[in-house]
Amino acid sequence: MSEQELTFRDRPINMNEKGGRKWIYAKKPSGLWFTRRTVFSWFLLLFFVSVPFIRVNGHPFILLDISSRKFIIFGAIFWAQDTFILALLMLSFVLFIILFTVTFGRIFCGWACPQTIFLEMVFRKIEYLIEGDYRKRYKLDNSPWTTEKIFKKTLKHSIFILIAIAMTNTFLMWFIGSEKWLKLVSEPISQNLAGFSIMLFISAIFYWIYSYFREQICTMVCPYGRMQGVLLDSKSIVVSYDYKRGEPRGAHSKGDCIDCHQCITVCPTGIDIRNGTQLECVNCTACIDQCNKIMLITNKPPGLIRFDSEEGIKNGHKTIWNARNRAYSFVLLILFSFFVYTLVSRPVVETSILRTPGLLYQENENNTISNVYNIKIVNKTHDELPLEIKLLSHKGEIKMAGKSMAVKDQGLYESTFILFIPKDELKGDNTKVEFGIFSNDKIIETVKTTFVGPTSN
Residues near ligand SF4 (CB under 6 A): 239, 241, 246, 257-263, 266-269, 271, 273-274, 281-287, 290-291, 294, 304-305
For residue 8, give the 3-state DSSP assignment: coil
Least distance (Å) between residue 204 CB and ligand SF4: 27
Beta-bridge partners for 375: 353, 415
Cβ proximity to ligand SF4, 109 vs 447, nearer residue: 109
- 8 A C-beta contact, residue 398 and residue 373: no
Beta carbons within 10 angstroms of residue 20's beta carbon: 8
Cβ proximity to ligand SF4, 266 vs 377, nearer residue: 266
* Helix-helix angle 193-208:147-176, to 10 degrees: 130
Least distance (Å) between residue 101 CB and ligand SF4: 15
Cβ proximity to ligand SF4, 89 vs 284, nearer residue: 284
Task: Residue 351: name the closest of 376, 381, 386 by CA.
Answer: 376
Burial 86-95 (b: 16+ CB within 10 A, else e): bebbebbeeb
Least distance (Å) between residue 320 CB and ligand SF4: 19
Cβ proximity to ligand SF4, 239 vs 447, nearer residue: 239
Least distance (Å) between residue 210 CB and ligand SF4: 17
First and final C-alpha spacing in the chain: 93
- 8 A C-beta contact, residue 381 and residue 437: no
Cβ proximity to ligand SF4, 132 vs 303, nearer residue: 303
Burial 315-335 (b: 16+ CB within 10 A, else e): eeebeeebeebeebbeebeeb
Least distance (Å) between residue 163 CB and ligand SF4: 23
For residue 21, give the 3-state DSSP assignment: strand
Cβ proximity to ligand SF4, 33 vs 435, nearer residue: 33
For 298-380, where are the alpha helices, taking DSSP H only? 310-315, 323-345
Cβ proximity to ligand SF4, 307 vs 420, nearer residue: 307
Distance CA 182, CA 180 (A): 5
For residue 269, give the 3-state DSSP assignment: coil
Least distance (Å) between residue 216 CB and ligand SF4: 14
Least distance (Å) between residue 217 CB and ligand SF4: 13
Cα atoms in the Cβ-side hemisphere of radius 13 Å centred on 456: 3
Least distance (Å) between residue 259 CB and ligand SF4: 5
Cβ proximity to ligand SF4, 60 vs 105, nearer residue: 105
